[in-house]
Structure 1
Amino acid sequence: MFEDQTKKSFIKKLLDHKIKFWLTVAAVLIILIAGGVSLYVKSALEPVDKNNEKAVNVYIPKGSTVSTIAAKLKKQELIKNEKVFITYVKFKHASGFQAGNFQLSQSMSPAELIDKLTSASHVPAFKIVVPEGRQLTEIAGMIADQTNYSEKDIMNKLDDKSFINKLKKKYPNLIKDDVLDKNIKHPLEGYLYPATYPFYDPETKLEAIIEAMIKQTDKTAGKYRTQMKDKKMSVHKTLTMASLIEEEATEKADRHKISSVFYNRLDKKMPLQTDPTVLYALGKHKNRVVYKDLGVKSPYNTYNHTGLPPGPIANAGESSWEAALNPDKTDYVYFLAKKNGEVVFTKTLKEHNKAKSKYITNQSE
């Protein structure tokens, strides 16, 4: 009996030692694993390369989930681990991820990436700057410079009748049948508003690029709709007159006076005789129109035809829109620009020829 008790006590002690041993082993393993996981997570939350600040363009589409954002960041080698990034976002209760194009770098930690992606720090994937007084062919070149579309493809789209008809339905107060007149060189000439256009999707469709410019013209036209109605001017005629003023005006020119000259000549049934229309008819950019150019056969040639040309010859800024609808009241029917950009206005042909002789022919002041 005594021997049985001693035996049981020995076995119990032996089992206690084994349990303690394995508990110790398990504890050590847990500590090692936890430490390993901790180091792994810590490493995953560090920048991919803290010394690489080279900007990487990342486009985040609207409606992107944290998972799709993480996948995109991993693909562009901006984070080390997708799952850790997603878990970290949840842990930080981060929200409000923005859509757009962002400039990120491998030197940013996940925390910094999240701050960037949840703030309004996105930048355009590209932008198109359209100055005033530019023709459609020039604007096509500007679009081509910033996109993968060729100038030929852009012009084909701008002149595409089915595309024009779509725009007519969408912008009925702006684009009317005037643009499809048989004498019109390019239907949308003058309808692409001069401004800076940022685009955040690097794969923005050509139609969307063009429409952004049309939309801005429609918005501007809305501001002058009452004035156009009072003056019995259609949008098309307003754009046409504004384009002539834009092309003739210098920095020192008074657009309202130039406008008055054009209206005075129209009232007197005189041809407008504005050189930019001749150049537009020729399809050339020249510093000076010579006598033989004036004979070009074209409905745009305002030396051979009275009235306004069939349509705009370029785009126009708002100052030219405003001048087209609010000409000064003058008796001027001639003007010419001096070498320094100042414009001389005259009332008679005799006065005009005298000014021409003084400022143009002799090139003296």
Structure 2
Amino acid sequence: MFSEQKKRPFFKRKKGIVLLSVLAVIIIAALSGFLYVKSALGPVDQKSKQTINIHIPNGTSVREIAGILKENGLISNDTIFTYYAKYKNASGFKAGYFHLKQTMDAEQLIQKLTSGGTDYAFQLVIPEGKQLSDIATIIANQTNFSAKEVEAKLDDPTFIKKLMKKYPKTVTSQVDGKQVKHPLEGYLFPATYPFYREDESLETIIDTMIKQTDQYVKTYEKDMKKRNMSIHDVLTMASLIEMEATEKTDRSKISSVFYNRLKKDMPLQTDPTVLYALGEHKSRVYYKDLKVKSPYNTYINKGLPPGPIANAGESSWKAALHPEKTDFVYFLAKKNGEVVFTKTLNEHNKAKAKYITGSN
């Protein structure tokens, strides 16, 4: 009797431990399942900058759409996405082209897919003030081409010759100068370009941008003749203006400073050319940087650099062709973006002390 009484609590404790263990396993399994589902519904890559273009044909089911998303790396689990869409009572999925990102979660993807697609396969948005390497990355992020492939095509001598024949007034022999870093730098006009084929060739993509530049060349052809400037020189000057301009400045005044310096046989001394020579994007240029040996360094070389240092928008084209008549030969940007123009080095140094160094 004594031994049976001793055994009962032991068996009860053992049974309790087993139940707790089973319960713990169930809780862990449920938690793991919840976390897995949550992860499957979250973004595939929160750091990705690439746009993935997909096409949804008419009559595609939710399960088939989930398969397309999975195939293109936009979701990690198509089954969970399908059940989630049904759980949310998502309906009205549209047909067409969709331009999606791996930073989108399931909810955002559903919103996009039910709000309507586009008739273009992909779209390139080329902002003003972008260099050839930046544009190569933009193209790579919207297509299956790598940035290296794009840059190689942009520098390909055979392709350049084709463009020279097709656009003789725009792509001239000046792009092939010995000191020119990239022949088509500054020739890819900033604009939004829709493309209607998923497998559009790289040559067609680049040609479309050159064609846009060619249209502006025709528009401003008379102005270039009046100034006795080649398109290469106009694009070079426009690129300097573009890279120096702020939202609060008059580009035609910046243009006047550059032209006044050229007339006085003064070096242009514009920092963006130094950064281009260095091949870097920096918020500040140091004195040691000004000594970089390069034909693009306008601190040690007089005149215009060998070619454009970035693309320029129409407002910078206009400023390059129609500079304001001033006596200014210096300018500097205040911290708030406003630009101060001065006529002498003494005035420039005073403005620098007042607005930049704060020593006055």
If the length of structure 2 is used for normalisation, what is the TM-score? 0.69
| Counterpart residue number, 1:352 | 348
Give the partner amino acid of 1:102: G
Query: Which amino acid is the alignment partner of residue 316 of structure 1?
Result: A
CA deviations over 1:142-161 (Å, ceiling 9, x no partner): 00000111111111100000
Structure 1 residues 219-258: aligned runs within 5 Å = 219-258=215-254
CA distance in 2, matches of 1:286, 1:102: 41
* One-letter amino acid of the counterpart of residue 345, structure 2: L
- Of the three residues 274, 278, 288, the one matched with 1:278 is 274
CA distance in structure 2 between the partners assigned to 1:282 and 1:49 by the alignment? 51
The match for 2:183 among 179, 182, 187 is: 187
**Residue among 128, 133, 156 paired with 2:129:** 133
Q: Is the 8 A contact 1:339 1:363 kept in 2?
A: no
Q: Where does residue 17 of structure 1 map in the other structure?
A: none
Counting aligned pairs with the same residue, the percent is 65
Distance 1:144 1:48, change over 3 A: closer
Matched, 1:171 2:162: no
TM-aligned CA deviation for residue 354 of structure 1: 0.3
Pick from 299, 302, 305 the counterpart of residue 295 of structure 2. Answer: 299
Q: Which residue of 1 aligns with 2:46?
A: none
Distance 1:163 1:144 in 2: 19
Task: Provide the rounded CA distance (Å) in 1 between the counterparts of 2:64 and 2:226.
Answer: 59
Aligned residue for 2:96? Answer: 102
C-alpha deviation, 1:357, in angstroms:
0.6
SS in 1 for 2:340: strand
Task: Report runs of 4+ in structure 1 exceeding 6 Å deviation.
Answer: 49-53
Matched, 1:312 2:308: yes
The one-letter code matched in structure 2 to 1:250 is T
Q: 1:325 aligns with which of 316, 321, 327?
A: 321
Distance 1:165 1:199 in 2: 24
1:186 counterpart letter in structure 2: H
Q: Once the 2 structures are TM-superposed, how far is the Cα of residue 102 of structure 1 from its aligned partner?
A: 3.1
Is the contact made by 2:97 and 2:120 (CA closer than 8 Å) also made in structure 1?
no
Q: Distance in 1 between matches of 2:97 and 2:64?
A: 10
* 1:189 and 1:311 in contact (8 A); partners too: yes
Is the CA contact (8 Å cut-off) linking 1:56 and 1:103 kept in structure 2? no
Unaligned runs of 5+ in 1: 1-46, 58-100, 105-120
| Deviation at residue 122 of structure 1 after TM alignment | 5.4
Instruction: Please list the CA deviations of residues 54-110 of structure 1 after superposition, one character each: whole Å capped at 9, or x if unmatched.
Output: 5999xxxxxxxxxxxxxxxxxxxxxxxxxxxxxxxxxxxxxxxxxxx9349xxxxxx
**Structure 2 counterpart of 1:88:** none
1:18 corresponds to: none
Say which of 259, 264, 283 aligns to 1:263. Answer: 259
Provide Cα deviations, 1:198-256, integer angstroms capped at 9, x if missing partner: 11100000000001100000011111000000110100000000000000000001000
Residue type at the aligned position of 1:200? Y
Q: CA RMSD in A?
A: 2.1
Structure index of larger Rg: 1
